Structures are given as structure tokens and as C-alpha cells.
Amino acid sequence: MTIRRIVTIGDPVLTAPCKPVTDFGPELQALLQDMKETMYAAPGVGLAANQIGVDLAVAVIDLTIGEEPGRFFVIANPRITVMEGEQREEEGCLSIPDLTEEITRPAKVKVAAQDEHGVERELEGEGLMARALCHEIGHLNGRFYIDELKGLKKTLAYRKARKTAKEG
């Protein structure tokens, strides 16, 4: 297992949709272990493969940051099938250090995805889990959470994020 470098805003791998996962063999399993270790070391509650420079549609999520075994999720080739309600909370990102913004997300989502073995699963998330699912799926589609902002607020957030990334 290796803790990988998290790429930051400005890296082109973060702004293109990721390639679908087609091989769920040993290479993917090793990548998932690296992603898990990297996410916990950051620390974060989610990490998409493109955040460590890998162009694959897979992400990991653990809202307990490793404190509750069995609460670790792998989502490969995910797609949101249902969105309900609305919540507005502060959100941040490992690829945009030192920046948080209030973002509106669905209060509840259902997601169809494959697990680490390629088995189709449906996940439901409310509250923080809904936010995490939307955030990581956004990454896999080449979007940042600040893309949810509008107008001048979005422009200023991007400006600040790029400045911080250059300095860091």
C-alpha cells in the first residue's frame, strides 16, 4: 500500500470525465488500497481516482475516516438515479486545499454503481453521505464542488483555488 500524491486544481486529469472501469482484477484492488490509505492519511471522507492522477471512474468513501469497519464504500462507474430534497452546507475538497464554500446538494440520493468486484449495487445516501456521493461522482465527471456555485461567487472561488494551488 502506498500513500499517493493528491493532485490539485489545475491538473487536467481533474477536469475530464474518467474512463469506465472494465477490469476489476489485482491492479484495481491495489489502486483501491492506495486510495484508501491516501484518503485516510489526508484525512478525508472520500477520494476519486483522478484525484491521485488515475483516469478511472472509481471512488472510495468512508464517513468515519476508518473508525467504523464496514462503513467503507467503493463506487465504480457510478450514476445518480434519484435525487430528492435539498441541503446547503460547507464543503471542501482535498484537490482544492484551504477553501470551503456553502454548496447546495440533494438531501437524499440513490446511486447505481459497481463495487470493488464489479457487482452492481444500489447505494442510498442522506445528509453527509448524499453530499459525499455527489462530490465524488462530480470528480469522476470532471467537475469540482465549486462548479455548483453561480456567477461571481464561482469566479472568485476558482480564482482563490488556483492561487492557493500555485502557492502550495
**Catalytic annotation, residues:** 136
Mapping DSSP to helix (H, G, I), strand (E, B) and coil, where does residue 123 land? strand
Residue 61, number of CB atoms within 10 A of its CB: 23
Distance, CA of 46 to chain centre: 5
CB 75 within 8 A of CB 57: no
**Closest by Cα among 55, 167, 57 to 114:** 57
Q: Which residues pair with 104 in a beta bridge?
A: 88
Amino acid at residue number 12: P
- Give the Cα separation of 160 and 168 in Å (integer): 12
